[in-house]
């Protein structure tokens, strides 16, 4: 009896190992949709710059078959093939690349194409963290989908620790009302649901347009003047005038207190690991604004 029993147990162990190896991988994306893969993804299409950064940080850089314009970090990402930009993706190239996972970012001009991609039957993960904690969460889930948890888990833990340290340092500082200028013509900003606004909150900043319903609304110069923020932030982007347009409004609190600041937009506007550095820069500028307060 012992020999058959031993043989049976050995067979069951082999079957259990095989079942575990072939077990489906299931996560939820940032829309709450279930994404299931029968095995770890080996050919991943990254359709946003922040997605490319997340995939590399999660240990899957060698699995990315293509990305889109402006996916320029880390350095290795510059060598990846492009399938389009944030407005238009070459569907024929997408099909030819035979991805087993597509990671997308939804915005107004891309939704129709993304719906077309869904008809291809390729698993799709929507990445759009709206809170700083979501960056580490995204890393973990993408690591699961690619089978790179050994890299993703410590990377996510480090990001959580860094944000926790910033929250401890700046969480109780006096609030600073601010205007965050995404673009100047037209004048774009972000509302309170944006992940950038979560960074503001961590630093003790108060977004003067947080209550607007649209995520990236257009506002008027008059609305900003009326709100009279204590600080104004712009980003260092090409073909963008930045915060200089406000210098002539000498009665504004932000101008009087010399609180017109410029940040690296790639560090703060992309919901990836580099948002840690972007948030550090934002916190430091807000602390400078506090120091500029007139007695």
Q: Is residue 98 predicted with pLDDT exceeding 50? A: yes
Query: Residues 187-207: pLDDT tens digits?
Result: 999 999 999 999 999 999 999
Are 125 and 180 in a shared domain? no
C-alpha of 266 from chain center? 10
Are 98 and 146 in a shared domain? yes
* Domain hosting residue 171, numbered range: 166-291
Q: Is residue 106 predicted with pLDDT exceeding 80? A: no
Percent of the chain having pLDDT more than 70? 90
> CA-CA distance, 51 to 236, in Å (whole number)?
21
Is 212 inside a domain boundary?
Answer: yes
Query: Which region among 6-10, 105-109, 182-186, 245-249 has the lowest average model confidence (pLDDT)?
Result: 6-10
Decide: 135 and 273 in contact? Cβ < 8 Å.
yes
Retrieve residue 72's tokens: 């320029």
Are 147 and 73 in a shared domain? yes
Decide: 105 and 82 in contact? Cβ < 8 Å.
no
Are 147 and 212 in a shared domain? no
Is 263 inside a domain boundary?
Answer: yes
Choose one of 122, 151, 180: the last residue of a domain. 151
Are 96 and 175 in a shared domain? no
**Which pLDDT score, from 0 to 100, does residue 112 have?**
75
> CA-CA distance, 239 to 233, in Å (whole number)?
17
Are 145 and 191 in a shared domain? no
Are 258 and 173 in a shared domain? yes
**Which pLDDT score, from 0 to 100, does residue 19 have?**
45
Query: Which region among 82-91, 150-159, 180-189, 218-227 has the lowest average model confidence (pLDDT)?
Result: 82-91
> CA-CA distance, 221 to 217, in Å (whole number)?
13
**Which pLDDT score, from 0 to 100, does residue 240 have?**
77
Are 112 and 177 in a shared domain? no
Is 4 inside a domain boundary?
Answer: no
Query: What confidence category does residue 8 fall into, taking pLDDT thresholds of 50, 70 and 90?
Result: low
Query: What confidence category does residue 18 fall into, taking pLDDT thresholds of 50, 70 and 90?
Result: very low
Is 16 inside a domain boundary?
Answer: no
**Which pLDDT score, from 0 to 100, does residue 21 have?**
47
Closest to 54 measured CA to CA, from 74, 69, 83: 74
Retrieve residue 50's tokens: 């922040």
Are 129 and 200 in a shared domain? no
Are 92 and 201 in a shared domain? no
Are 113 and 178 in a shared domain? no
Query: What confidence category does residue 7 fall into, taking pLDDT thresholds of 50, 70 and 90?
Result: low
Angle at CA of residue 215, ends 246 and 242, nearest 5°: 25
Choose one of 116, 151, 186: the last residue of a domain. 151
Choose one of 94, 125, 151: the last residue of a domain. 151
Is 157 inside a domain boundary?
Answer: no
Q: Is residue 107 predicted with pLDDT exceeding 80? A: no
**Which pLDDT score, from 0 to 100, does residue 109 have?**
52
> Residue-wise over 220-250: b if at least 16 C-beta within 10 A, else e?
eeebbeeeebbbbbbbebeeeebbebbeeee
Structural domain count of the chain: 2
Is 132 inside a domain boundary?
Answer: yes
Is 284 inside a domain boundary?
Answer: yes
Q: Is residue 264 predicted with pLDDT exceeding 80? A: yes
Q: At what angle do helices 149-170 and 133-146 cross, to 10 degrees?
A: 180
Mean pLDDT of 68-90: 91
**Which pLDDT score, from 0 to 100, does residue 294 have?**
75
**Which pLDDT score, from 0 to 100, does residue 153 have?**
98
Work out the mean pLDDT of the chain and round it to a whole number. Answer: 90
Is 14 inside a domain boundary?
Answer: no
- What CATH number is given to the structural domain containing 216? 3.40.50.1980
Are 147 and 195 in a shared domain? no
């Amino acid at each position: 009896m012992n020999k058959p029993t031993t043989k049976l147990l050995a067979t069951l162990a082999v079957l259990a190992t095989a079942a575990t190896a072939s077990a489906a991988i299931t996560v939820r994306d940032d829309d709450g949709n279930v994404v299931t893969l029968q095995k770890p993804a080996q050919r991943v299409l990254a359709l946003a710059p922040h997605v490319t950064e997340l995939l590399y940080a999660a240990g899957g850089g060698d699995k990315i078959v293509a990305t889109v314009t402006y996916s320029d970090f880390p350095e290795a990402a510059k060598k990846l093939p492009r399938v389009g930009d944030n407005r238009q993706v070459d569907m024929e190239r997408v099909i030819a690349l035979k991805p087993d996972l597509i990671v997308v970012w939804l915005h107004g001009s891309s939704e129709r194409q993304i719906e077309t991609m869904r008809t291809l039957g390729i698993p799709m993960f929507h990445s759009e963290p709206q809170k700083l904690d979501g960056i580490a969460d995204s890393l973990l889930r993408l690591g699961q989908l690619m089978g790179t948890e050994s890299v993703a888990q410590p990377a996510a833990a480090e990001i959580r620790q860094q944000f926790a340290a910033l929250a401890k340092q700046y969480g109780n500082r006096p609030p600073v009302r601010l205007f965050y200028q995404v673009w100047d013509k037209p004048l774009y900003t972000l509302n309170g649901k944006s992940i950038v606004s979560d960074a503001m909150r961590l630093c003790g900043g108060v977004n003067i347009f947080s209550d607007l319903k649209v995520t990236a609304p257009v506002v008027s110069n008059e609305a900003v003047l009326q709100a009279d923020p204590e600080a104004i932030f712009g980003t260092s982007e090409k073909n963008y005038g930045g915060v200089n347009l406000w210098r002539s409004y000498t009665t504004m609190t932000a101008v009087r207190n010399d609180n017109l600041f410029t940040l690296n937009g790639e560090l703060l506007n992309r919901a990836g690991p580099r948002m840690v550095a972007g948030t550090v820069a934002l916190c430091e500028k807000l602390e400078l604004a506090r120091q500029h307060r007139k007695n």
